[in-house]
Chains A and B, each alone.
Chain A
Amino acid sequence: MKLTHPIRFTALALLIVVLFALDLAVGSVSIPLREVWASLTGGEVAASTVKIVRSIRLVKAVVALLAGAALAVSGLQMQTLFRNPLAGPYVLGISSGASFGVALLLLGAPLLGLGGSSLIASFGMAGAAWVGAAIILTMVAVLSRRIKDIMVILILGMMCSSGIDAVVQILQYLSSEGALKSFVIWTMGSLGDVTTPQLALLAVAVVIGLVLAVAVIKPLNLLLLGEQYARTMGLNIRRTRRMVFLSTTLLAGTVTAFCGPVGFIGLAVPHLARMLFGEADHRILIPASALTGSAVLLVCDLISKLFTLPINTVTALMGIPIVVWVVWRHKTIA
């Protein structure tokens, strides 16, 4: 059976290439394939076509590629760390933290009379979201140094995010309609609002996050056998946790900062990867989740473009059946 893994990886990679090409070819403006190709290769086409293909479609497709891989890998790490099939990149409160940052910027700053500050404006939603996410994870990481039981950390993370959600609700409650609408649209996610310099930042963060994830492959495999066993095998659990938290902040935190909270990819894709490869070994699962994540988010982006829906609704509608399937298969929650 092992022999088939390379074939599966090749097939997945080919699928991504096809989906990536499709994502470049499809959009609300119909551009003949020949012109899409010419815009990419510097052939003779209208300047506006080149702009659409290179600055909009290409950027968006690359964002989908990176964000899909990042969310899936951070979700996988969380599921292993917490030994919980329903964990995802957001269980520790990253998306709540990011929403809190954005809510403070969009809703809180005007209430405090800081709406005009050019410093705050230049910081932008992405900066605010990233700082919000990082603060929450630092908080969880600091708390987790004193706590042995990973389940306690899980509960603390969830309580933290619920508390922050409540504060965000207070801000929403006091805000004007216009500010509220901006915030709600942010929570629906968007892959197309990333500028080229932001894309560079996103790429760097995702690459570092993935390298960290590869570095914890062995500890994660040990953790599959239980924390006690891993400890007796000489694993430094706290160091592993720190690495995983850092990797998740870089992966999910940065994606959330630039694209808003994109749900279900991080939760559903690791299961999809397990199903496709029939493996629990992280040496296989990490690259498999990354590739599957890219492919799934590219599909979601295609659907969101074809039906002009916000990306988050599409990922939810695609992800929910997978989650239902997982619960159905496990039947018991123990």
Chain B
Amino acid sequence: MKRLILLLWCLMSIACATEGPSLEAFSEEIYTPRYAKGFTLCTTKGGSSTLLSTASPWQGAEAPSRLLIRRNREPLPQGFTGQVIEGEAKRVVCMSSSYIAMLDKVGAVDAVVGVSGIDFISNPTINARRAELGDVGYDGNLNYELVVALDPDLVLLYGVSSASEMVPRLEELGIPYVYVGEYLEEHPLGKAEWMIFVAELVGKRTTAEEHFAPIAERYTALAAEAQQDEKRPTVMFNSPYRDNWFMPPATSYLVQLVTDAGGEYIYRADDGDNRSDVIDLEEAYLLASEADVWLNPGVIFSLDELCHRFPRFADVKAVREREVWNNNARLSPAGGNDFWETGVVEPDVILEDLRHLLHPTADSDYRFVYHHRLQ
């Protein structure tokens, strides 16, 4: 009997010893985001594990999604239901090309073992390693066999308007995942700051911080300089789709970039939500005919092509004055636009492009990176 009690006592003390800290104990921020609203990186007092929280795993999500990078065999937080990886990830699958750009920025692109839609990725290292990488396909029709065979420590994914369809299957297969919410950030620096979140996953956070600081500094300086401009050219976005024109919301990434570059978005519909507005061709014609600059008219490479495709818009001011610009100067052979890949971690470069195209007198021999003028 005594032995039994002793055994029970031993078992209980083991159970108590493995009882971890509460989730609230993860309150020490190891990095405080300055622009991004969607993530936190926390640890406990004296602990070495990192708790990564994605506030909105998809647009409008109610609860955050969490991942714990567990170090030194520290106990799991009590009642923790999130994902856990042991130490930094060494083999990752990226469901979006922007994560590849973030990993590349901190010199960790070699950790990528699988990608989604390899033909649409611009990254040269990834393209050079095509043969050894796995293309896992797209959410909703994923090649799970390949995902398992790639033996990843972590899958970096996103949710569009609800949870990723991959999640139940990944949980069943025991493959950890993390939601990267960079695409929901509206501020260009907020988007880029997610590189610190992604870098933490592969143990390169400090490198990422060193990279991000000068980007933020340069962006802020350029934006401050642009605020001195007296003339603010008006900007029209996109192009008609059949008899509709999709206008980005006033709070969006592209509009923020244009505003910071010293331009003015020509469309003002303040209905407060962050969805694109659909306007008809009459309203679009009115806006387009007034705009000084026409930006990003879709998959179009020349002015002739533009006039041929949208003859009704061939006589608007921006076309007459040859102020139509597109952001597709850097495309992968299959048509993936590097603006949405590397551009995500180079908001300062994009801003400089926009600054020069909106205020051309500033520096005449500037070489555009992402944008080109339609000829």
Contact status of A118 and B138, CB under 8 A, knowing A28-B143, A56-B145, A176-B160: no
Question: Which A residue's beta carbon lies closest to that of B58?
Answer: A115
Mask, B122-154, CB within 8 Å of A = 1, is 000000000000000111111111101101000
* Inter-subunit contact B151/A48 (CB<8 Å): yes
Chain B: interface residue total (CB-CB under 8 A): 35
Q: Give the shortest distance, in Å, between B27 (CB) and chain A (any CB).
A: 24
B169 within 8 A of A: yes
Question: Which B residue's beta carbon lies closest to that of A312?
Answer: B141
B275 within 8 A of A: yes
B162 within 8 A of A: yes
* Inter-subunit contact B140/A190 (CB<8 Å): yes
In angstroms, Cα B283 to Cα A183, docked, is 30
B62 within 8 A of A: yes
Which of A105, A116, A120, A173 counts the most B-chain CB atoms under 10 A from its CB?
A: A116
Question: Which A residue's beta carbon lies closest to that of B169?
Answer: A195
Q: Which of B163-197 contact A (CB under 8 A)?
A: 163, 165, 168-169, 172-174, 183
* Inter-subunit contact A116/B61 (CB<8 Å): yes
* Inter-subunit contact A195/B172 (CB<8 Å): yes
* Inter-subunit contact A110/B63 (CB<8 Å): no
Mask, A177-196, CB within 8 Å of B = 1, is 01101100110101011011
Question: Which A residue's beta carbon lies closest to that of B244?
Answer: A173
B47 within 8 A of A: no
Pick from A28, A175, A186, A196: contact of B145, CB under 8 Å: A28
B10 within 8 A of A: no
* Inter-subunit contact A308/B148 (CB<8 Å): no
Mask, B82-108, CB within 8 Å of A = 1, is 000000000000000000000000000
B276 within 8 A of A: yes
B60 within 8 A of A: yes
Residues on A with C-beta less than 8 A from B273 are 113
* Inter-subunit contact B161/A182 (CB<8 Å): yes
Question: Which A residue's beta carbon lies closest to that of B151?
Answer: A48
* Inter-subunit contact B140/A193 (CB<8 Å): yes
B278 within 8 A of A: yes
Residues on B with C-beta less than 8 A from A181 are 138, 160
In angstroms, Cα B160 to Cα A179, docked, is 6
Contact status of A106 and B139, CB under 8 A, knowing A51-B148, A57-B145, A174-B278: no
B59 within 8 A of A: yes
Contact status of A308 and B145, CB under 8 A, knowing A115-B161, A116-B60, A195-B169: no
Q: Give the shortest distance, in Å, between B295 (CB) and chain A (any CB).
A: 18
Q: Give the shortest distance, in Å, between A180 (CB) and chain B (any CB).
A: 9
Question: Which B residue's beta carbon lies closest to that of A108?
Answer: B161
* Inter-subunit contact A116/B62 (CB<8 Å): yes
Residues on B with C-beta less than 8 A from A105 are 162
Contact status of A116 and B144, CB under 8 A, knowing A51-B173, A195-B169: no
In angstroms, Cα B142 to Cα A174, docked, is 26
B327 within 8 A of A: no
Question: Which B residue's beta carbon lies closest to that of A106?
Answer: B161
B56 within 8 A of A: yes
A287 within 8 A of B: no
Q: Give the shortest distance, in Å, between B66 (CB) and chain A (any CB).
A: 14
Pick from A51, A111, A121, A173: contact of B163, CB under 8 Å: A121
Question: Which B residue's beta carbon lies closest to that of A192?
Answer: B144
Contact status of A113 and B161, CB under 8 A, knowing A185-B141, A190-B140, A192-B142: no
Residues on A with C-beta less than 8 A from B141 are 185, 188, 190, 192-193, 310
Q: Which of B61-78 contact A (CB under 8 A)?
A: 61-63
Pick from B148, B161, B276: contact of A110, CB under 8 Å: B161
* Inter-subunit contact B168/A195 (CB<8 Å): yes
Pick from B58, B137, B149: contact of A116, CB under 8 Å: B58
Which of A107, A109, A115, A185 counts the most B-chain CB atoms under 10 A from its CB?
A: A115
In angstroms, Cα B162 to Cα A109, docked, is 9
Q: Which of A104-133 contact B (CB under 8 A)?
A: 105-107, 109-111, 113-118, 120-122, 124-125
Q: Give the shortest distance, in Å, between B187 (CB) and chain A (any CB).
A: 19
Contact status of A27 and B162, CB under 8 A, knowing A115-B59, A118-B62: no
Q: Which of B255-290 contact A (CB under 8 A)?
A: 273, 275-276, 278
A140 within 8 A of B: no
* Inter-subunit contact A29/B149 (CB<8 Å): yes
Residues on B with C-beta less than 8 A from A56 are 144-145, 148, 173
* Inter-subunit contact B146/A182 (CB<8 Å): no
A52 within 8 A of B: yes
Mask, A153-184, CB within 8 Å of B = 1, is 00000000000000000000111101101100
Residues on B with C-beta less than 8 A from A116 are 56, 58-62
Q: Give the shortest distance, in Å, between A325 (CB) and chain B (any CB).
A: 30
A236 within 8 A of B: no
19 additional contacts, CB 8 Å, given A176-B161, A182-B140?
A27-B145, A29-B149, A48-B149, A51-B173, A51-B174, A52-B148, A52-B149, A55-B172, A55-B173, A109-B161, A115-B161, A116-B58, A116-B61, A117-B62, A121-B162, A182-B161, A182-B165, A193-B169, A308-B143
Query: Lowest 3 CB-CB distances: which A-B pairs, in order?
Result: A116-B60, A115-B60, A185-B140
Chain A residues within CB distance 8 Å of chain B: 27-29, 48, 51-52, 55-57, 105-107, 109-111, 113-118, 120-122, 124-125, 173-176, 178-179, 181-182, 185-186, 188, 190, 192-193, 195-196, 308, 310
15 contacts between A and B (CB under 8 A): A29-B148, A55-B148, A55-B173, A56-B148, A106-B161, A109-B161, A110-B59, A121-B58, A124-B163, A124-B165, A176-B275, A182-B160, A182-B165, A193-B141, A193-B142
